[in-house]
A and B are shown apart, each in its own frame.
Chain A
Amino acid sequence: MKHLFIGLIIRLALIFYGEFHDQKFQVPFTDVDYKVFTDAARNVLMGASPYSRHTYRYSPIVAYVLTPNIIVHQTFGKILFSILDLVMAYLIYRLMLRRNVSLRKAHLSSLFWLYNPLSVVISTRGNADTLSSLLVAGTLLCLYAGKPTVAGIVHGLCIHMRLYPIVFSLPFYLSLSSWDRFSPSKEPKKSQVSSKSFSNSDEVPKADGSSWYTGRSLFNLWSDCKALFIPNKSQLKLVLGCVSALLTVTVVFYWLYGYHFLYESMLFHLSRKDIRHNFSVYFYLQYLSAGAVVSIWQRVLMFIPQLFLLVALSFRYGRMFDLPFCLLAQTIVIVMYNPVITSQYFVWFLSLLPACIPMLDLTLKQAVFHSVVWVVAQLAWLLPAYWLEFRGEDTFVYIWLQGIAFFCANITLLARLIQSYNPKLVLKDE
C-alpha cells in the first residue's frame, strides 16, 4: 500500500513537471497521441465522431474515457493512466501468486513495474497502452483462474483496443489444449499450482509419465494430432468468448461510426506503412522504395521471419505456466519486426517483463548489462533522428544504421531471455 502511494506521488509529480516542460521546451514531454485523444474526446462531447479527428486510430472507448480532459482538466487522462499503472502493479502481483511464486518475488515483480522509470514516463506522458497491457494481464489471470469464457471476452476486448494481442490467441488456445505437451503434467515439477487453476482437467488425458518426444507409438501420435487440431470444451469457450466480444464491440461501433471506425481502428493497423523516420529496421528500405511498386518478395521477406518466430514461440512456450514468457517473447518479435516502431510500442513488452523476471536465470550484473545495451541502442538512434527532425540535417543513413543496431540489440536481448528462462527457479525456494 505504501509503495502504491509512493508510486502515485512520483507519477503526479512528473505530470506536474510535464505541464511546465511543455510550455518551456521545443521537444514536448506529452505524447503526441495524447493531444489526439483529447481532440477526439472534444469531438465526442460535441456529439461528433472521435474519428473526425485526423490520425485518431484507437477504440472510441479511449475518447469516451478521456472526456474529462475537456470538462475537468487536460491532465485527467495522465492521472487515469497513472492509476491504471498502479492497478497493473497489483495484477502482476496476483498473477505471480497464481503461478505459486513466493510472496517476496511476487512483491518484487510488482515493484519492478511500479518504480520502472520507463513505465512511469510512459503513463505520465499520456500513453494509453497501459489499458491494453491491463487487458492482457486480465486475460492471463482469467486463464489461470480456470475461466476460459471470461478470458476469451477480455481477450476480445483487448484485440478491440489494440490489434497486436491477436497474435497471443495461438498460445492462449494451445495452453488449453489436451495435447500432452501442453497438459498440466508437463508443468515444471514441484508445481503446487492447484488443479483448479488449470481447470481443463476434464479434457486432459492422463499423463503417462513419458517425455513427449521419446518413444511414442503411432497411436500416441494420432491422439496428439487429434488433441492439437480438434478443439476441446475450454478452447471452444475461449474462442467463442473472444469472437463474440470482438464482434459485439465491432458491430456496435460500426453502427455508430461506420466504415471510418473500421478503417482507422483496425484496417489501418494491418496495412500501416509509414515512410517517416522511426525505430523500425525497415524504415529506410520503405522510404527509399516509396512511390515505387513493392515487389512480392520484399513483402514476403518482411513477413515470413516474424510469422516463423511467432508460431515457433507459441509451440515452444504455449504451456499455461509459460504463457507470460511466451507473450513477452512474441511481443518483442512483433515490435522488432514491425514496419513502424515508435517508443510507445515498448510499453507492450515492458508490461509483461515483471511477470517473467523471477523465472530468468540472470545475475543482477547481466540484467543491468542487457538493459543498458538496449537503452543505449535506443538513445544512439535518437541522436541522428534529432539531427534530422529538429536540425534538418541529412542523417538518413545513420538513422538506418542505428535502426539495424537497435534490431540487433533486440535480437540479443530476446536470445538472452530465452536462454535464461527457467521456470523451475521460482519453485526452488517455495
Chain B
Amino acid sequence: MIFVSGTRIRLGLSQFTLVVLLLPFTCNAVGNRDALQQQSSRCGLHATIVRQVEREGFHRDLGSLVELVAQNPLEWQNCTIALQETIPSGLYVNQDQLMDLERQGTLTACPETFVDVEAAQWQSESFGVLVYSSLETAHNLLYAHIRMPIHLRYHAPTDNGGYAGVYIPPPKLLIRCSNEITCGNKENYFTGSCDGCTGSHCSWLQIPFGTNTPKEGLRVMVPVGNKSLLPIVNAFTFLVTGGGCLYILSILVSTWK
C-alpha cells in the first residue's frame, strides 16, 4: 500500500507529462505571490512541478518533475534549476548516500546542516536541502526529473498505535543561467552555492510554479508503536528473559561435575 496523497501510480516520464496537463493545479503561494506572478509573465516562463513519493516503507524517493514552458526557450537553454526542499522532522536525507549519488553523477543535493540519521522524530528538527538539476529541452518545454532518496524517522509511540502522517511541504523553485537574468524582481534573487555542496556562490532567481501538492504538503504515513501494550510487553519480555536465565542456570547445575 502506498500512503501518499495524490497519485498512487508510479509514473513514467510520458505519463508524468500527461498528468501535468490533466491535473487541476493549485498555485503555490511562495513569498509574495503577486510579485512572483508578475515576474513570471515578465520572464516569459510558466513553471509546474509534479511531486510524488515513490516506493514504500521507511526508505523512499521524493520525485519531482519540473517543467518550464518558455516563450523564448533559447534564452533558458543554459540554465540550471534548484529545489529548496524543507525536510520535516519526521524524515531525513542521508548525507553520505547523497555524496555517493553525486559521485555517480545521479543527483546533486546538499543538506544545509548536519543530519543525524539515527535520531528519532521527536529528537529532530526540520532542515533545508538544496537539490540541483540541469534542464533538458523539448521544443519550448524545459524539464528536469529529480529523484531524491528520503528516509522516515521512527516516531514516538502513540496510545493506540497505527500510523502517523509526515507532511513534505512544496519546495522553492530557483533558477540560474550562464547568461544574466534581468527579468526578475530584486527581492527574488538569492545567493547560494552554484552547483554543488561546496564551492563558489551564485545568484539564483526564485520563480513561481503550479503543483499537484496539497497546501499542507505531500503526506507520507509511518507506522508507530502502540503505547497501551507497554505493560504487557514489559511483563512478557522480562518473564521470558528471566525464565531463560533460570533455565540455563538450572542446566549448568544439573551438568556440573
Contact = CB atoms under 8 A, between A and B. Distances in A.
A281 B122 CA distance: 24
Contacts of A54: 95-96, 114, 116-117
A391 B57 contact: yes
Contact of A288 (B56, B229, B252): B229
B125 interface: no
Contact of A298 (B117, B224, B234, B244): B234
B241 interface: yes
Identify the interface centre among B100, B221, B225, B247: most chain A CB within 10 Å of its CB. Answer: B225
Given A390-B59, A418-B252, A287 B116 contact: no
Contacts of A392: 1, 3, 56-58, 152, 221-223
A115 B116 CA distance: 39
Contacts of B240: 281, 404, 407-408
B249 A288 contact: no
Given A35-B100, A53-B96, A394-B162, 4 more contacts: A39-B99, A288-B226, A308-B249, A390-B58
Contacts of A333: 248
Nearest to B242: A305
A290 B222 contact: no
A158 B242 CA distance: 30
A276 B244 contact: no
A419 B122 CA distance: 47
A316 to B, nearest CB: 5
Given A276-B154, A396-B161, A285 B233 contact: yes
B252 A284 contact: no
A275 interface: yes
A26 B96 CA distance: 18
A291 interface: yes
Interface in A277-308: 281-282, 284-285, 287-291, 298, 301-302, 304-306, 308
Contacts of A411: 244, 247-248
Contacts of B157: 287-288, 290
A288 B237 CA distance: 13
A284 B225 contact: yes
Contacts of B162: 394
User: In terms of DSSP, what is the predominant structure of the interface of chain A?
Assistant: helix
A316 B256 contact: yes
B251 interface: yes
Given A55-B117, A394-B162, A396-B161, A404 B156 contact: no
A396 B249 contact: no
Contacts of B156: 290-291
A239 interface: no
A304 to B, nearest CB: 8
B42 interface: no
Given A290-B156, A389-B59, A390-B56, A407 B244 contact: yes
A330 to B, nearest CB: 11
B233 A290 contact: no
The 7 closest A-B pairs by CB, nearest first: A305-B245, A394-B223, A390-B57, A411-B244, A392-B57, A288-B230, A392-B56
B151 to A, nearest CB: 10
Given A281-B237, A415-B247, A388 B223 contact: yes
Interface string B133-152: 00000000000000000001
Interface string A18-43: 00000000100000000110010000
A93 interface: no
A397 interface: yes
B238 A301 contact: yes
Given A305-B245, A309-B248, A390-B56, A396 B96 contact: no
Interface of B: 1, 3, 55-59, 95-96, 99-100, 114, 116-118, 120, 122, 152, 154, 156-157, 161-163, 221-227, 229-230, 233-234, 236-238, 240-242, 244-245, 247-249, 251-252, 255-256
B241 A281 contact: yes
Contacts of B236: 404
B226 A396 contact: yes
Nearest to B2: A392
B252 A313 contact: yes
B225 A288 contact: yes
A414 interface: yes
Nearest to A418: B251
Identify the interface centre among B59, B114, B224, B233: most chain A CB within 10 Å of its CB. Answer: B233
Nearest to B120: A275
A220 to B, nearest CB: 18
Given A39-B96, A54-B116, A275-B120, A396 B245 contact: no
Contact of A274 (B55, B118, B241, B248): B118
Interface in A245-288: 274-276, 281-282, 284-285, 287-288
A337 interface: yes
Interface string A367-392: 00000000000000000000011111
A291 B122 contact: yes
A395 interface: yes
Given A301-B241, A305-B241, A305-B242, A287 B96 contact: no
A55 B117 CA distance: 8
A312 interface: yes
A284 B59 CA distance: 21
8 contacts: A36-B96, A288-B233, A309-B248, A337-B241, A388-B57, A392-B56, A392-B152, A394-B162
Given A284-B233, A288-B229, A388-B57, A408 B223 contact: no
A308 B223 contact: no
Nearest to A421: B255
A173 interface: no
Contacts of B226: 288, 396-397
Contacts of B251: 415, 418-419
Contacts of B57: 388-392
Nearest to B220: A392
Contacts of B247: 411, 415
A144 interface: no
Nearest to A295: B234
A396 B56 CA distance: 16
